[in-house]
């Protein structure tokens, strides 16, 4: 299943936490499918760090670097992926508000 199809299947929007650019499998436990999760995790990673496919909108809270690597962004803390820009933006803002209360 492709990323756009998956996001539509889960209601048009989903938020992921701690997406790494060197380890795609970190997203696997957050994917609401029983099969095909590894390939979908790679698509999520690509959408965050290389650009989203057409019709998919990605909202990223922050990108952090690991000092022992080459200095490019290596981790995204909160990522909301949606098929509708406005709905994704609303969900993303809600997630940021929740995370601010956790501190």
- pLDDT (tens digit per residue) in 38-47: 889 999 999 9
Contact 79, 46 (CB under 8 A): no
User: Using CB atoms within 10 A of its CB, is residue 6 exposed (0-12), middle (13-18) or buried (19+)?
Assistant: buried
Q: List CB contacts of 9: < 8 A, sequence separation 6 or more.
A: 1
73-101 mean pLDDT:
91
* pLDDT at residue 102, rounded to an integer: 66
Contact 21, 74 (CB under 8 A): yes
User: How many structural domains compose the chain?
Assistant: 1
pTM for this prediction: 0.87
Distance, in Å, from the CA atom of 93 to the CA atom of 75, rounded to the nearest integer, reads: 19
Q: Is the pLDDT of residue 67 over 70?
A: no
Domain of residue 19 covers 3-102
Distance, in Å, from the CA atom of 84 to the CA atom of 102, rounded to the nearest integer, reads: 27
Sign of the torsion angle spanned by Cα atoms 54, 74, 89, 40: positive
Confidence of residue 21 (pLDDT cuts 50, 70, 90): confident
């Amino acid at each position: 299943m492709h990323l756009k199809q998956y996001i539509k299947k889960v209601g048009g929007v989903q938020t992921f936490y701690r997406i790494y650019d060197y380890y795609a499998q970190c997203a696997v436990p957050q994917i609401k499918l029983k099969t095909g999760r590894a390939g979908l995790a790679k698509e999520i990673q690509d959408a965050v760090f290389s650009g989203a496919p057409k019709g998919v909108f990605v909202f990223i809270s922050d990108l952090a670097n690991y000092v022992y690597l080459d200095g490019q962004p290596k981790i995204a803390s909160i990522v909301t992926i949606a098929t509708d820009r406005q709905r994704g933006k609303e969900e993303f803002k809600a997630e940021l508000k929740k995370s601010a209360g956790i501190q």
